Amino acid sequence: NAGVTQTPKFQVLKTGQSMTLQCAQDMNHNSMYWYRQDPGMGLRLIYYSASEGTTDKGEVPNGYNVSRLNKREFSLRLESAAPSQTSVYFCASSEATASYEQYFGPGTRLTVT
Amino acid sequence: GENVEQHPSTLSVQEGDSAVIKCTYSDSASNYFPWYKQELGKGPQLIIDIRSNVGEKKDQRIAVTLNKTAKHFSLHITETQPEDSAVYFCAASYYSGYALNFGKGTSLLVTP
């Protein structure tokens, strides 16, 4: 049982490049989330998916798109990366019914130059 | 939307002392208040949570208290140990499975 996995662990992009961050969970959770973490800012929600087939914007969605590919996988795409998107990105999942706890992945450290 | 404020931003205590971290929230509809611990290079991990029908919850050396009238909740760590050193985040949410609104974190350092 791996929990929540994220790939890649590290990535460096040039301004304007695109990339997709991958997230998968093996806990059969309904809800999945993408957060970004910046120094002194805590964790801010980018997008979330309450259940398979649905996605909703969070606090800071501009510049990002998401896809809930199936119940296990939730990807985050940067279409045209900007230096302001340099951050650590965390994916999380939760059951949404039986338990409130959100389980976090190990994070992806992204640098945009 | 919900606004969660967390204090202090840094806290240094000696091993064996107690540590208290406080959070306030703005949305009276919030009913779930978790605390997460984040160690360096890792994702946050839930350490304790409390729901709005409970005023206090304890798990060994950690406890959380909730005052719904004043809209604040606190994390208490007793008999601190060096391995308690980490960043702690409070959060609030108003229903299960949906977005958590996080505080900005408290960096706790426990010195031997």
Q: What is the pLDDT of chain B when averaged over all its residues? A: 93
Nearest CA in chain A to B33: A100
pLDDT in tens, B21-54: 999 999 888 888 999 999 999 999 999 999 877 7
A44 with B102: Cβ contact below 8 A: yes
Q: What are the DSSP E strand ranges found in A1-113?
A: 4-7, 10-13, 19-25, 31-38, 42-49, 56-57, 64-68, 74-78, 87-94, 103-104, 108-112
Residue numbers in B near A50 (CB within 8 A): 97-98
Mean local confidence (pLDDT), A34-54 = 91
pLDDT in tens, A76-92: 999 999 999 999 999 99
Q: Please, which residues 66-95 of chain B have a Cβ atom closer than 8 Å to chain A?
A: 89, 93
Distance from B104 to chain A by nearest Cα, in Å?
4
Distance from B80 to chain A by nearest Cα, in Å?
23
| pLDDT of res. B22 | 98
Nearest CA in chain A to B10: A40
| pLDDT of res. B95 | 65
Distance from B8 to chain A by nearest Cα, in Å?
12
| pLDDT of res. A101 | 85
Q: What is the pLDDT of chain A when averaged over all its residues? A: 93
| pLDDT of res. A98 | 42
| pLDDT of res. A12 | 97
CA–CA gap between residue A20 and residue B37 (Å, rounded)? 27
pLDDT in tens, A90-107: 999 988 654 578 899 999
